[in-house]
Amino acid sequence: MSKKQASLLVQGYEVVIGFETHAQLSTHSKIFSRASVAFGAEPNTQACAVDLALPGTLPVMNKGAVERAIQFGLAVGSHVAERSIFARKNYFYPDLPKGYQISQFEIPVVQGGEVSFFLGDEKKSVRLVRAHLEEDAGKSLHEDFHGLSGIDLNRAGTPLLEIVTEPDIRSSAEAVAYAKELHKIVTWIGICDGNMQEGSFRCDANVSVRKPGAPLGTRREIKNLNSFKFMQQAIDFEVRWQIDRIEDGYEIEQATVLFDPDTGETRAMRTKEDAADYRYFPDPDLPPLMIERDWVERVRAEMPELPRVQAERFVADYGLPEYDATTLTQSPAMGAYFEQAAKLSGQAKLVSNWIMGEISRRLNAGELDIAASPVSAAQLAALVARIADNTISNNAGKQLMDALWAGEAIAGEPQAQVDALIESKGLKQMNDSGALEAIVDEVLAANEKNVAEYRAGKEKAFNALVGQVMKASKGKANPGQVNEVLKARLG
Ligand code: ADP
Ligand code: MG
CATH of the domain at 474: 1.10.10.410
Query: Does residue 250 sit in the same domain as residue 280?
Result: yes
Q: Same domain, yes or no, for 28 and 81?
A: yes
Q: Which ligand is nearest to the CA of 19?
A: 1
- pLDDT per residue as tens digits for the range 228-252: 999 999 999 999 999 999 999 999 9
Q: Are residues 326 and 374 in the same domain?
A: yes
The verdict on 48 and 172 lying in the same domain is yes
Report which ligand 1 atom has the smallest distance to the Cα of 19: 14
Rounded CA-CA distance 450/460 in Å is: 9
Same domain, 126 and 45: yes
Which amino acid, 431? N
Looking at 424, 452, 482, the residue that finishes a domain is 424
Same domain, yes or no, for 373 and 464?
A: no
**Residue 2 is inside which H or E element, if any?**
none
Q: Could you tell me if residue 197 is inside a domain?
A: yes
* 169 and 237 inside one domain: yes
Q: pLDDT per residue over 195-216, tens digit each? A: 999 999 999 999 999 999 999 9
Q: Which domain holds residue 466?
A: 433-490
Same-domain status, 195 and 95: yes
CA of 288 to the centre of ligand 1 (A): 26
- The pLDDT of residue 146 is 78
- CA–CA gap between residue 167 and residue 171 (Å, rounded): 11
Task: Out of 424, 447, 478, pick the residue that ends a domain.
Answer: 424
pLDDT for the residue 1: 57
Residues with C-beta less than 6 Å from any ligand 1 atom: 16-20, 164-167, 206-208, 216-217, 219
DSSP 261-326: TTTTEEEEEEEGGG------EE-TTS--EE--HHHHHHHHHTPPPPHHHHHHHHHHHH---HHHHH
Q: For residue 451, is it within any domain?
A: yes
Closest Cα partner for 135 from 149, 165, 151, 155? 155
CA gap 222, 234 in Å, rounded? 8
How much distance in Å is there from the Cα of 206 to the middle of ligand 1?
A: 6
Q: Are strands 289-290 and 83-84 parallel, antiparallel or unpaired?
A: antiparallel
Total domains present in the chain: 3
> Which pLDDT does position 3 carry in this prediction?
66
Q: Is residue 241 part of a domain?
A: yes
Q: Are 228 and 369 in the same domain?
A: no
165 CA closest ligand 1 atom index:
14
Q: What is the pLDDT along the chain (491 residues), one digit of tens a residue?
A: 566 666 789 999 999 999 999 999 999 999 999 999 998 899 999 999 999 989 999 999 999 999 999 999 999 999 999 999 999 999 999 999 999 999 999 999 999 999 998 887 788 999 999 999 999 999 998 877 678 888 999 999 999 999 999 999 999 999 999 999 999 999 999 999 999 999 999 999 999 999 999 999 999 999 989 999 999 999 999 999 999 999 999 999 999 999 999 999 999 988 777 667 899 999 999 999 999 999 999 999 999 999 999 999 999 999 999 889 999 999 999 999 999 999 999 999 999 999 999 999 999 999 999 999 999 999 999 999 999 998 998 989 999 999 999 999 988 999 999 999 999 998 988 877 788 889 999 999 999 999 999 989 888 899 999 999 988 888 788 888 898 899 988 87
Do 285 and 321 sit in the same domain of this protein?
Answer: no
- Which residue among 13, 206, 218, 254 has the greatest number of ligand 1 atoms within 8 angstroms of its CB, and so is best to mutate? 206
Which residue CA neighbors atom 22 of ligand 1 most closely? Answer: 219
254 plus 385 within the same structural domain: no
Residue 1 in any domain: the answer is: no
Residue 3 lies in a domain: no
φ, ψ at 19 (rounded to 5°): -110, 140
Do 394 and 455 lie in a common domain? Answer: no
pTM given for the model: 0.85
For the stretch 51-60, pLDDT in tens is 998 999 999 9
Element (H, E) at 260: strand 255-260
Q: Which of 252, 275, 296 is the last residue of a domain?
A: 296
Task: Tell whether 11 is covered by a domain.
Answer: no
- Residue whose Cα lies nearest atom 11 of ligand 1: it is 18
Q: Cα–Cα–Cα angle for 130, 235, 15, nearest 5°? A: 75
In a domain, 6, yes or no: no
Per-residue model confidence (pLDDT) at position 28: 97
| CA of 165 relative to ligand 2 center, distance in Å | 10
- Judge whether 272 lies within some domain: yes
Which of 61, 44, 63 minimizes the C-alpha distance to 52? 44
